[in-house]
Chains A and B, each alone.
Chain A
Amino acid sequence: MNILGITVKGMRQRKFSTLLTMASVAVGVALVVSIHVLKQASLNGFALAQTGVDLVVGPKGDPLSIVLQGVYQKGEPQAKLPMSFYEELRKHPAVDYVIPVSLGDSYRGNRVVGTSEEIFSKYEYIAGERLRFAAGGPFAGEFEGVVGSAVAKEQKLKIGDSIQYTCGLTEAVAQEQEHAHKLKVVGILAPTRTPSDRLIYVGYQAYVHLHQRGEDEDADHDEHEHATPAASASQPVVAIGEGKHDPRGVSLLLVKAKSNLGAIQLHCRINDGQVATAALPSREIQNLFAIIGGVTLALHAISVLVVVVAAIGIMVAIYNSMSERTRAIAVMRALGASKRTIEDIILTESALICVVGGLAGLALGYAIVFLAAPFVARYTNTNIVLQWSDLVSRQANSLQVPLVILYALGMLCLALLGMLVGLLPARRAYKVDVAGNLTGAR
């Protein structure tokens, strides 16, 4: 028998109200945790994807857009790089390899990427990790495609299947722009937990030929700007100053340099020119998260407010419960419990409600992210990567403290918060009329 045991028995006596109060704390904590974990899991997804290349090169423009298109498959290319640029860059002495990327087609919302076989033989989506095949092998023929693991799973594709892919990156546009030819699935990739899982790879030369053929067959298609959903065959768009659309160009180039210094030199050389922009993926993503950092900060602030509101709810709930407990308090006082002992019981109860609610909220937060991750990944085309190592890693947050330590400190703060909000009910307990409640007069 101790203060904790006495407190727990009292809480069990008022099971329903205790559980409700704990639930309110759990919801607030779950909100805080799920925001943080989802943000970190998204960061993990971004971090995993950007490690394969040193530079992403696109037509002159915003480097962040180029990185988002080239590495994360976000956004829509507005122009192309001439093939001559690609050919020249490949021969540069600082370059290890260059992988062309052509964008503009899709299959049921998944992008079809025209590229070279080096995407399989050389590209490292994570340092030391190349794209591996779960079935089949790389494309060789003109209308052969290799599908990412998530595409194969969701569309139930297997080797030998034919898929009708379409011009346009959104399904709304694509429905009117089906290609005459179908792609034959010759390879299915193993999961990578990067945007590659949601892509379909075809040879870029076949990609170019297809669109060149399409020009001959359909004059309207020639002027169609693939990436613009608003454009359609009835409203041809021609980039200003670019003349006729050059189907032989590529949307982007993924560049691996032979050394870090080489990467920096290439970065400067390309950006000094008039044709292309070279972007450093890590730098651009840092800039991006700096921009959205304010938003996540606001979300964190709101979720902390929810926890505070829940704590006030605890105070109100315990304060109101005092009227049910006056007899019990009077009996304990009559048995020799001091006011300090009664106060300790109430503060312990308040702290326990916060801590148990907090632990439940922690579990609930992770459960929410775990259950929501596939849906978020599917509808935002972003990989959500939950890494349990983040719990013990110092690198998983800006404070450089393992998450388990932060969570333990969080529970301690909740306990202190609980004791703080328990002070007012404890004060009410002081005023219990012992004599009156013993005789049942009150």
Chain B
Amino acid sequence: MAVICKNLIKTYPGPDGRPVAILNIQELEISEGTQVAIVGQSGSGKTTLLNLIAGILTPESGSIEVAGTDVVKLSEEERDRFRAAHIGYIFQTFNLLDEFTALENVMLGMYFVGGARSRMRAEAEGLLEAVGLSDRLHYHPRQLSTGQQQRVSIARALAHDHRVILADEPTGNLDADSSRQVLDLIQQIISREKRTLILVTHDPRVMGRFSIVRNVEELKAN
């Protein structure tokens, strides 16, 4: 299994300061090499689930096993290293850093894992070529279209052979054509390399491209 979540509870402080459960999952299992869409209403905790799997947030209780490691039991620094090594993240708002070129944005994630610079550079160039941006290596994000920026974000997420790719509404800021192209790209690469994709969406058109769809609210424990 790529990801196993059990008895997962995540709360946030309510207006009165008392904890309010934003996520309550009894069990969620995602097999390695599968592509899963996570759906639900706004505020149902879809993004929170991705952040918990990535180790950016920690639950109040429960376990989250990613590639055989319970990330909840790791220290903060260990979670950072684990995320750098195993998990790629594609954001709705791309979250590219303006001060870096497309190539450097892709290399940045690799840097936090470590390794030879020449290898990082070669891999980053290869990834950008795979997403159709071999002629935009040295462009800054502000010099790229929104579709191109999301491609850079995809290349960054695929770096370092991340086995689990998390995508939080990756087409939310794109037009229909760009959305289709980006989704085609993501799914092609994921399928070819047999990686695991967990994609959050509220768009029925996106949902329709996935054979496995899980509704966060249906995963809640009784």
CB within 8 Å for A336 and B99 given contacts A1-B117, A438-B91: no
A1-B107, A337-B112 are contacts. A435–B98 as well, Cβ < 8 Å?
A: no
B57, B99, B120: residue with the most chain A Cβ atoms closer than 10 Å: B99
Task: Please name the residue on chain A nearest to B88 by beta carbon.
Answer: A335
CB-contact partner of A336 in B51, B95, B98, B109, under 8 A: B109
Given A334-B54, A434-B56, A439-B92: A9 touches B100 (CB 8 Å cut-off): yes
A13 contacts partner chain B, Cβ-Cβ < 8 Å = yes
Q: Choose from A10, A328, A335 the contact partner of B84 (Cβ within 8 Å).
A: A335
How far apart are the CA atoms of A25 and B77 in the complex, in Å?
35
Provide 8 A-B residue pairs closer than 8 Å at the C-beta atoms, listed in order of the A residue: A10-B99, A335-B83, A336-B81, A336-B85, A338-B76, A339-B76, A435-B47, A435-B51
Interface of B is mostly: helix
**Would A1 and B120 count as touching, CB distance under 8 A?**
yes
A389 within 8 A of B: no
Q: CB of A340 within 8 A of chain B?
A: yes
**Chain A, interface SS category:** helix
Question: B81 contacts which chain A residues (CB < 8 A)?
Answer: 336, 338
Q: Is the CB of B57 within 8 A of A435?
A: yes
Determine the residue in chain A with the shortest Cβ distance to B47.
Answer: A439
Q: How far is the CA of A2 from the CA of B91 in the complex (A)?
A: 24
Residue of B nearest to A330 (CB): B95
Q: Which of A6-47 contact B (CB under 8 A)?
A: 6, 9-10, 12-13
B42 to A: closest C-beta gap in Å: 12
- The residues in A between 288 and 339 inclusive whose CB is less than 8 angstroms from any CB of B are 327-328, 330-339
> Hey, which chain B residues are within 8 Å of A336, CB to CB?
80-81, 83-85, 109, 112-113
Bound Cα distance A1, B99 (Å): 13
A128 close to B (CB within 8 Å) = no
Q: Is A341 on the interface with B (CB-CB < 8 A)? A: yes
Q: Is the CB of A333 within 8 A of B99?
A: no
For B168, list chain A residues within 8 Å (CB).
439
Contacts of B97 in A (CB 8 A): 328, 331-332
Most-contacted residue by chain A among B56, B81, B111, B113 (CB, 10 A): B111
Residues B112 and A341 in contact, CB atoms below 8 Å apart: yes
Given contacts A9-B100, A13-B98, A434-B56, contact A335 B112 (CB under 8 A): yes
Q: Does A440 contact B (CB under 8 A)?
A: yes
New A-B pairs, 17, CB < 8 Å, besides A327-B95, A334-B56, A337-B80: A1-B108, A1-B111, A9-B99, A9-B104, A334-B89, A334-B91, A334-B95, A335-B83, A335-B112, A336-B81, A336-B83, A339-B80, A341-B112, A435-B51, A438-B56, A439-B92, A439-B168
Return the 6 tightest CB-CB contacts between A and B, nearest first. A336-B84, A13-B99, A336-B112, A9-B99, A335-B109, A338-B80
CB distance from B177 to the nearest CB of A (A): 24
| B156 sits at the interface (CB 8 A) | yes
CA distance A2 to B114 in the complex (A): 10
Q: Which residue of A lies closest to B76 (CB)?
A: A339
Taken together as a complex, chains A and B put the C-alpha atoms of A13 and B96 apart, in Å, by 14
Question: Once the chains bind, are A339 and B77 in contact (CB under 8 Å)?
Answer: yes
Which residues on the A side are within 8 Å of B117 (C-beta)? 1
- Give the Cβ gap from A343 to chain B, nearest Cβ, in Å: 12
Contact of A440 with B109 at beta-carbon distance under 8 Å, contacts A10-B99, A13-B99, A335-B156 already known: no
In the docked arrangement, what's the CA distance between A327 and B80, Å? 17
Closest Cβ of chain B to A261, distance in Å, is 72
B77–A331 contact, CB under 8 A? Answer: no
B93 interface contact, C-beta 8 A = yes
- Complex CA–CA separation, A340 to B80 (angstroms): 10
A333 and B80 contact, Cβ closer than 8 Å, known pairs A341-B112, A435-B56, A438-B95: yes
Select from chain A the residue with minimum beta-carbon distance to B108. Answer: A335
The complex places the Cα of A13 from the Cα of B104 at a distance, in Å, of 14
Taking the nearest CB of chain B, how far is it from the CB of A440, in angstroms? 5
Interface mask (A426-442 → B, CB under 8 Å = 1, otherwise 0): 00000000110011100
List of A residues within 8 angstroms of B104 by Cβ: 1, 9
**In this complex, what residue of A is CB-closest to B78?**
A338
**CB-based nearest A residue for B92:** A439
Scan residues 98-132 of chain B and give those whose CB is less than 8 A from a CB of chain A.
98-100, 104, 107-109, 111-113, 117, 120
Task: Convert B53-93 into 0s and 1s, putting 1 for each residue whose CB lies closer than 8 angstroms to a CB of A.
Answer: 01011000000000000000000110011011100010111
Pick from A327, A331, A332, A336 the residue with the most CB of B within 10 Å: A336
A334 in contact with B92 (CB, 8 Å) = no
What is the minimal beta-carbon distance from B171 to any residue of chain A, in angstroms?
A: 16
Complex contacts, B108 vs chain A, CB 8 Å: 1, 6, 332, 335
Expressed in whole angstroms, the Cα–Cα distance for A440 and B92 within the complex equals 10
Q: Of residues A12, A330, A332, which shows the largest number of chain B Cβ atoms within 10 Å of its Cβ?
A: A332
User: For the complex, what is the distance from the CA of A12 to the CA of B5, rounded to whole Å?
Assistant: 43
Bound complex: CA of A333 vs CA of B111, how far in Å?
Answer: 12
CA distance A435 to B48 in the complex (A): 8
CB contact between A333 and one of B47, B56, B85 (< 8 Å): that residue: B56
Contact between A338 and B99, CB atoms less than 8 A apart: no
Separation of A438 and B89 alpha carbons in the complex (Å): 11
